Amino acid sequence: MKIAIAGYGVVGRGAHELLLKNHAAIAARLGEELTVKYVLDPKDLTGTPGEGLKAAGIGEVLADPEIGLLVEAIGGVGAAYDYVRAALESGRSVVTPNKQLIAEKGAELLALAKEKDAALLFEPAVAGGTPVLWPIAHCLAANELDLAAGILNGTTNYILTKMVAEGADFAATLADAQRLGYAEADPTADIEGIDACRKACILADLLFGRHTDPEKVFAQGITKITAGDVAAADQAGFVVKLIGQARKMPDGKVLCLVTPALIGKGHPLAAVNDVFNAVMVHGNGVGEVMFYGRGAGDLPTGSAVLGDVIEAVRTGCRYDPMMSWTDCGSDHLADRRDYAIDALCRVKEPFAGLAARFPGAACIWERDGETAALVHGVPEGELEDYLAGRAVSPYIRVFAR
Amino acid sequence: MKIAIAGYGVVGRGAHELLLKNHAAIAARLGEELTVKYVLDPKDLTGTPGEGLKAAGIGEVLADPEIGLLVEAIGGVGAAYDYVRAALESGRSVVTPNKQLIAEKGAELLALAKEKDAALLFEPAVAGGTPVLWPIAHCLAANELDLAAGILNGTTNYILTKMVAEGADFAATLADAQRLGYAEADPTADIEGIDACRKACILADLLFGRHTDPEKVFAQGITKITAGDVAAADQAGFVVKLIGQARKMPDGKVLCLVTPALIGKGHPLAAVNDVFNAVMVHGNGVGEVMFYGRGAGDLPTGSAVLGDVIEAVRTGCRYDPMMSWTDCGSDHLADRRDYAIDALCRVKEPFAGLAARFPGAACIWERDGETAALVHGVPEGELEDYLAGRAVSPYIRVFAR
């Protein structure tokens, strides 16, 4: 099997390097040689493993009958979208780590893959190297799944881990992370929760079989988390994590959102630190399952890209109906304001005031004219409205004790 | 597709109940009805979902051309072995949670499955409901894997979790676990590490492609762990867990063993508590990955059984060469005594004595004529010989900091 790689950045090149590194073992497992015949990237490939493989354009690649599969690692929804459509239209299979493309255009592209009976796989789009989507769709296929949630972005998890360990504030920690290469020069997509939102949408898509439009999903980043929030959480027995979640509510609606959230210190997600990712899934047979590993990086993401390529080749490059969803509107989405939450609140009033409004609240501290407290079972809309004008910091919901 | 279930205990019945519970969703995902036509079990099935499905014997089941797959949930290597061989001989596929059968006879049965081009799947044999074997063999197929290790037995993890939380001794905690149904009346296979050893062998088999004979694997249980060991570990920043591991050593040999081991409190395995299992895998592309979930129970294990049934049906009930190994002797196995370890030692001598013999040792405490200390980088054989006659408790190796 000969493949083409479009986009030769960290992930595209990482996948190629890993294939060369483990070439013999992969061929032995698959019973077939796997070779990169073309690389599609405007940059100079001299000195890279892609040297001598540069294609003139997607037309040259798709005109070659030896090419059975395209790895799209360009990113975004411009050329990436055009190339993936063209490849599928031509009956070629596609593997992509492109979470924006799958979150925004997945339903449409899966419909095309189905029509052409071609594989469209995207394991690396969620949690990078960590196997998540395939095990959910297949190993847990006997379950009714009602929750997938977790730590979906390594940059923000690195920053929060440092803030928890060092009691540092957000801005200083971000600057450190940028200096060390754990955060990009423009970190917006990470720190504002946009990247995690795409991954939460893909999890919702896969669990519930319906396209979840990222534009309609509430995503809050970590830019407003302060050292004071982290300290109040710590005193109440929690750590702060950025959690993306896709959850079937008791009324049948799907709650999909990304927010900072509190995790009890003994919970397995609390031990997911630095740039690691983890996804927890709940099913009515299996109970809770968690997948943990690296969410980014050249070789880890390359591992997931190649795992998908191997799976596609092994199963004859055919469409996989178990790894799919359709677009039938957004009327299944829940409004977070309608549901009760537990949350950490920090307000400029005595604890008595908060407790009078929300019975069952538990005081964490009262000091310097500020109260930190945990409220319990409060409809989120009511809490949000009450805190407007009173809050020292945005409230942080409890995800798990 | 019609299937038969042999052995209608916790797992066989659990798989049947989960199939009935999620029948419509499973049929929709698979594009095909999945029905249990026979149950093979001498017990009275009245009042169970198996009522009216009792087969007279394996002969009746295999004579029925409608039956494509046998779920073997009898356990052990007596009738289970005979039935699985007979089913494979007849060209039927087999799914089994039977870790003893796969650990002892897996290579032989996989050779037969290959000859007949039938599926032989056994995801539930390691970590129960948690997807582990399939993701290792397929999602991580682009890696050279050098380690699979983890908490492979729920009963011992429950006991150790209580001992750590309560500072209690082994015997009292075991009695509690038996009273609550977390340990069996005869807990030998669990507490002596025999069950974990079978699972470690299956992980070694899958990672390195060679049969690992459980008889040749060192397996030590938790019966000698005391409250004092747990306290010394705690003071040094560790918790005690029963760890099964399969590791490719730098010299190319495979170290497979089950022992109590120390896990740093911040390590993800330290957060795996109660009856939960977790398997950590290391590959040269992906780095560290961990799978976490329930290692036993009717519906969790049933989820893995049905996941395998769905996978077998989806892929045409064919032999899966990526989920296999062969028997070519035991000369690949390493002797643990040849390799350096870090370990917690408790001896009846002053710290100075231990430190003179093992430079770099770190004292945890000296009291009541006893020293607790961590030694570093000591060949296990030398340590074992030195401690003979001096030890208050068996040494406990460090698995992860």
Q: Is the pLDDT of residue B211 over 90?
A: yes
Residue B182 has pLDDT above 90, yes or no: no
Q: Which of residues 287-306 of B touch A (CB under 8 A)?
A: 287-294, 297, 299-300, 302-306
Q: What's the mean pLDDT in B183-196?
A: 95
Contact B141 A307 (CB under 8 A): yes
Please identify which of the residues B199, B241, B253, B265 carries the catalytic annotation: B199
Optimal mutation site among A10, A132, A139, A303, interface B, most CBs of chain B within 10 A: A139
pLDDT score for A123: 98
Q: How far is A36 from chain B (nearest CA, A)?
A: 14
B134: Cα separation from own chain's centroid: 14
- Encoding tokens for residue A108? 């449409």
How would residue B289 be classed by pLDDT, with cut points 50, 70 and 90? very high
**Mean pLDDT of all residues in B206-211:** 98
Q: Which of A13, A26, A143, A282 to mutate to test the interface with B (most CBs of B within 10 A)?
A: A143
The nearest alpha carbon in chain A to B315 belongs to A315
Q: Which residues pair with B148 in a beta bridge?
A: B246, B281
Q: Are B246 and B132 in contact (CB under 8 A)?
A: no
Conformational region of residue A317, where left means phi above 0, alpha means psi within -120 to 50, and beta covers everything else: left
Q: Say what the pLDDT of residue A181 is.
A: 86
pLDDT at residue B131 in the model: 98
* pLDDT tens, residue by residue, B126-153: 999 999 999 999 999 999 999 999 999 9
Q: Is A266 on the interface with B (CB under 8 A)?
A: yes
Across the interface, whether the CB atoms of B283 and A303 are under 8 A apart is answered: yes
Residue A124: what pLDDT? Answer: 98
The verdict on whether A114 is a catalytic residue reads no
Instruction: State the number of CA atoms in the 13 A half-sphere of B187 facing the CB.
Output: 24
Cβ of A293 within 8 Å of Cβ of B307? The answer is no
- CB neighbour class for B286 (10 Å; exposed up to 12, middle 13-18, buried from 19): buried
Q: Which tokens hold the place of A374?
A: 């945990």
Q: Which residue in B26, B139, B157 has the most chain A C-beta atoms within 10 A of its own C-beta, making it the best mutation to test that interface? A: B139
- Residue B238, beta-bridge partner list: B264
Q: Is ipTM over 0.95?
A: yes
One-letter amino acid of A97? P
From CA A336, how far away is CA A352, in angstroms rounded?
Answer: 27
- CB within 8 Å: B138 and A26: no
Query: A134, B138: Cβ pair inside 8 Å?
Result: yes
Residue A268 has its nearest CB partner, among B271, B297, B321, at B271
Q: In which element (H, E) is residue B174 found? A: helix B170-179
CB contact (8 A) between residue B300 and residue A307: no
CB atoms B300 and A291 under 8 Å: no
| Identity of the amino acid at B328 | C
pLDDT range class, residue B181, cuts 50, 70, 90: confident
Task: Give the alpha-carbon dihedral of A113, A119, A122, A123, to 10 degrees.
Answer: 150
- CB proximity A47 to B under 8 Å: no
Low-confidence ranges of chain A (pLDDT < 70): none
C-alpha B398/C-alpha B387 separation (Å) is 17
* CB-nearest partner of A292 from B21, B270, B289: B289
Name residue B308's beta-bridge partners.
none
Which residues lie across from B372 on neighbouring strands?
B346, B365
The CA–CA distances, whole Å, from B226 to A222, A248, B223, B234 equal: 44, 45, 8, 13
Q: What is the pLDDT of residue A182?
A: 87
Q: What is the mean pLDDT of residues B85-101?
A: 98
Share of residues in chain B with pLDDT > 70 (%)? 100
Residue B41: φ, ψ to 5°: -165, 135
Please write the tens of the pLDDT for every residue from B298-353.
Answer: 999 999 999 999 999 999 999 999 999 999 999 999 999 999 999 999 999 999 99
The whole-angstrom separation of Cα B279 and Cα B123 is 13
Q: Are B98 and B5 in contact (CB under 8 A)?
A: no
